[in-house]
A = this chain, B = another copy of it.
């Protein structure tokens, strides 16, 4: 960050020209005059998504009708898409399904993990999770603990406690630790392998939420020792608004995985329609009920784009983009009270840059008004998601320059930009 290279827009454009991932930009349709930095909330639209939806609706549904459950492979979509996700997160064969929502999959995984612990370490009743995990994850765990009653309890821990390996919170009461791989506000990335080792050393199981990392960086679920994982497909995997989530379970737990949302899609013989539940062997037991086939089919388009990308190259570019972003903020906005919240160390950084400014909300509104779309999180945080497949270095330059213009000229300081509606 202290290199003496000339850093200007032309230099950024040269880096774009040399970018080995540059061709992926053409796999997406981004609105004109838009720089999209919110792919960590909702990924952009891949080419082919609308055509896929049309084919599902007109041909598979319209012409195939009920037959398409078999002939168009609808029943197999959760497993088929699961294989594609698995390839991106190092899950291994037959480890992953795409189904339901992240919140619901977390409920399944946490329920199953607690049942395993109830057999293996029956006295343990505590679930640890980050205070800054996705709120929905925390709420789901609270809902599960309340339903189980029997002394189950969710305890919130600070990020520093996680990175230090749980020195004060990992007691012999802890059954389960649920962690987001990347803090959605700050962009802090947690090391899966060492953190999971600390969890296992404490006798607990580890569930990782990959919503903010799947598709953004290389992940080695099977090699990293995780017990279970969940994540969405609508952020860095560009699956479309609310596209279905995934759930992964380590091989050692797969046939001990018992979940209460035991709908017919998880039954060993769903078409016998017997009145007694019996779980399928393998990954089908992670399923529940009939899936939204249109949304799921569209999600596959995004997964197929990601599958063509080398995740190592994606990670390298992501770090180059965030390094550039940070350097530009430091050099070109240094006369403003902005604080870089995202960790500087590569090993602790996800694929976003978060900066704090007490007028963050109005500043982000002003940016969005000129087509530079990031988002805002309380308190004071401007979030900029960096999706290497469709974002370039000149985009980062233009973003920081726009920020500079807005800050230098207090363009945020109008009632229009200060009124808060629902914030996404």
| The one of B45, B50, B100, B101 that contacts A53, using a Cβ cutoff of 8 Å | B50
In angstroms, how far is the closest chain B Cβ from the Cβ of A48? 10
| The one of B240, B262, B266 that contacts A294, using a Cβ cutoff of 8 Å | B240
**Which partner residue on chain B sits nearest A377 by CB separation?**
B273
- B-contact bits for A22-41, CB 8 A (1 contact / 0 none): 00000001010010101001
A263 with B36, Cβ < 8 A, contacts A57-B49, A242-B293 known:
no
Do A53 and B277 have beta carbons less than 8 Å apart? no
In the complex, A332 has a CB within 8 A of chain B: no
- B-contact bits for A124-138, CB 8 A (1 contact / 0 none): 000000010011101
Do B275 and A65 have beta carbons less than 8 Å apart? no
In the complex, A123 has a CB within 8 A of chain B: no
Q: Cα distance A66–B58 when bound, in Å?
A: 27
Q: Cα distance A54–B58 when bound, in Å?
A: 12
Do A260 and B103 have beta carbons less than 8 Å apart? no
Do A101 and B65 have beta carbons less than 8 Å apart? no
**Which partner residue on chain B sits nearest A49 by CB separation?**
B57
Do B131 and A275 have beta carbons less than 8 Å apart? yes
Stretch at the interface among A2-10, A141-149, A200-208, A307-315: A141-149
What B residues does A66 contact at CB under 8 A?
Answer: 38, 41-42, 373, 375, 424
For chain A, the count of residues having a C-beta within 8 Å of the partner chain is 95
What B residues does A270 contact at CB under 8 A?
Answer: 135
A424 with B69, Cβ < 8 A, contacts A289-B136, A294-B240 known:
yes
Do B57 and A45 have beta carbons less than 8 Å apart? yes
Q: Which of A103, A111, A272, A368 has the most CB of B within 10 A?
A: A103
Do B62 and A143 have beta carbons less than 8 Å apart? no
For window 244-279 of A, CB contacts with B under 8 Å fall at 244-245, 259-267, 270-277
What B residues does A107 contact at CB under 8 A?
Answer: 260-261
**Which partner residue on chain B sits nearest A262 by CB separation?**
B143
In angstroms, how far is the closest chain B Cβ from the Cβ of A153? 13
What B residues does A62 contact at CB under 8 A?
Answer: 29, 31, 44-45, 49-50
Do B102 and A241 have beta carbons less than 8 Å apart? no
Copies, count: 2
In the complex, A186 has a CB within 8 A of chain B: no
In angstroms, how far is the closest chain B Cβ from the Cβ of A32? 9
Do B147 and A272 have beta carbons less than 8 Å apart? no
Q: Which of A143, A291, A298 has the most CB of B within 10 A?
A: A143
| The one of B65, B138, B146, B272 that contacts A260, using a Cβ cutoff of 8 Å | B146
| The one of B38, B276, B292 that contacts A292, using a Cβ cutoff of 8 Å | B292
Q: Cα distance A62–B42 when bound, in Å?
A: 11
What B residues does A50 contact at CB under 8 A?
Answer: 53-54, 57-58, 62
In angstroms, how far is the closest chain B Cβ from the Cβ of A176? 15
In angstroms, how far is the closest chain B Cβ from the Cβ of A43? 9
Q: Cα distance A111–B36 when bound, in Å?
A: 41
Q: Cα distance A78–B291 when bound, in Å?
A: 16
In the complex, A290 has a CB within 8 A of chain B: yes
Q: Cα distance A60–B274 when bound, in Å?
A: 43
In the complex, A234 has a CB within 8 A of chain B: yes
Do B148 and A264 have beta carbons less than 8 Å apart? no
In the complex, A210 has a CB within 8 A of chain B: no
Interface, chain A (partner B; CB < 8 A): 29, 31, 34, 36, 38, 41-42, 44-45, 49-50, 53-54, 56-58, 60-63, 65-70, 74-75, 100-104, 107, 111, 131, 134-136, 138-140, 142-144, 146-150, 156, 232, 234, 240-245, 259-267, 270-277, 288-296, 298, 368, 373, 375, 377-378, 421-424
**Can you list 15 residue pairs at the A/B interface with Cβ under 8 Å?**
A34-B65, A42-B61, A44-B62, A45-B58, A60-B241, A61-B240, A69-B424, A135-B270, A143-B277, A234-B290, A240-B293, A241-B290, A241-B292, A242-B292, A273-B378
